[in-house]
Amino acid sequence: MPATQKITNENALRDQDVPSRDPDHHDDDHHDDIVYPDAIPFVLVHLACFGAIWTGVTWEAVAIGLVFYFLRMWAITAGFHRYFAHKSYRTSRVGQFILAFLGQSSAQKGVIWWAAQHRHHHKYSDMPLDIHSPVQHGFFFSHVGWIFARKRGQADYSRCKDLTKYPELVWLDKLQNLPALVLAVAALWIAGWPGLVVGFFWSTVVLYHATFCINSLAHVHGKKRYITGDDSRNNWWLALLTMGEGWHNNHHYYQSSTKQGFRWYEIDLSYYVLKVLSWMGIVWGLRKPPANVVAGERPVPTVIVDRVAHELAATFSPERISSQIAEAWQQKPSLSDLRRRAAEAQKQASEYLAEIHLPEMPQIPSLEEFKRRAEERFAYTPSLDDIAERAY
């Protein structure tokens, strides 16, 4: 990606008094082969889970863990993701602060950092600059390895000027671990040491990896109902585990929808809770996908057509085509013969060159072949012909 396309605005960010770092920028100070300080809490939370060997496991602690898991999963999916990253519905200023506080109690860094990283992911989904793409970087890196890659952990806050205008969100984002610490103390107070280890640390680790499965598994396993230009997929059991986030292909196809389970049978618990809250007037403006979007009848954007066309063209072997061209060319007169004939008669040479016009050779895949292969490989979209023609 050309450097001119990188989105940075250091002066504006400095005025906002929030951290700034373009994740697309590569500094010599970035070393991805060491554990940098920001990754240490992540490691310590995992190690703390072994404390159950000494504290034991109680039913009370397990119950707390389940409540903490689903409360914070909802805060991540409905808050961090659908509200802060995509602005798919509205709430009050107090409501958004509560969403941010609950989301940060998951120990997944700050609300503005999270939204900036996610917006970056959508812009470069499954492309080389994607922060966590199993297509580009492998499954393990997309799931958890990126956390230890320093340049991947830096967020470009200029993507979130709609959030950095709120001083309380900037303050909370700076105190990334405060909400998690408050929740940990509450677990200790309610159920003692088992409450802290099992109720808080266990549920936090499970929450980590359930969330990370959307980065990794949801781009590897499942069904691709819509053409999105990436490998996002729908996965029903991930949707249950993450309260609706498993309908990932739906989401990448129409990102502004609050409801990610497009069909009636696609369970989306996060949306159901938001729907109830909308009846109470706590949230409003929830968005649903239009009928033509659900049916896959919306034309694919040009940039997606181009990406998918390149993918389709790559299914035809250039080596095989070039060998066929070489073989066909050998059956024609040599270049010296052509030159001699051209010297004898320009008209005769022109006619002969017309005979070997390559696009008319039967060995070259036809546009109809591209169209047939596109129909076999991709979900239906009105843009299939555009994709085939671009690939051709």
Compute the mean pLDDT over every residue in the chain, rounded to the nearest whole number: 85
CA distance 116 to 152: 12
| pLDDT band, residue 372 (cuts 50/70/90) | confident
Higher pLDDT, 369 or 262: 262
Phi and psi angles of residue 107, each rounded to the nearest 5 degrees, phi first:
65, 35
**Cβ contact 64:184 at 8 Å:** no
DSSP secondary-structure letter at 334? P
What pLDDT is recorded for position 10?
38
What pLDDT is recorded for position 305?
86
| pLDDT band, residue 358 (cuts 50/70/90) | low
Q: 46-68, pLDDT tens digit by residue?
A: 999 999 999 999 999 999 999 99
> Tokens 């819509």 map to which residue?
226
CA distance 364 to 244: 45
Q: 115-138, pLDDT tens digit by residue?
A: 999 999 999 999 988 888 998 889
What pLDDT is recorded for position 326?
74
CA nearest to 278, candidates 82, 115, 128, 138: 82
Dmax of the chain from CA atoms?
100
pLDDT over 50 at 11, yes or no: no
What pLDDT is recorded for position 359?
52
Q: Mean of the pLDDT values across residues 178-193? A: 97
What pLDDT is recorded for position 165?
96
Least confident among 189-203, 244-258, 343-357: 343-357
Q: Mean of the pLDDT values across residues 212-232? A: 94
Q: Mean of the pLDDT values across residues 299-328? A: 81
What pLDDT is recorded for position 289?
96
Q: Mean of the pLDDT values across residues 84-104? A: 97
Structure tokens at 244: 């609706």
DSSP secondary-structure letter at 333? P
| pLDDT band, residue 366 (cuts 50/70/90) | confident
What pLDDT is recorded for position 30?
41
Degrees to nearest 5, angle at CA 166 with 160 and 171: 95
284 forms beta bridges with 90
Least confident among 115-119, 318-322, 326-330: 326-330
pLDDT over 90 at 375, yes or no: no
What pLDDT is recorded for position 15?
38
Phi and psi angles of residue 259, each rounded to the nearest 5 degrees, phi first:
-85, 120
pLDDT over 50 at 26, yes or no: no
- Element spanning 91, H or E: strand 90-91
Higher pLDDT, 306 or 15: 306
What whole-number percentage of the chain has pLDDT above 70? 84
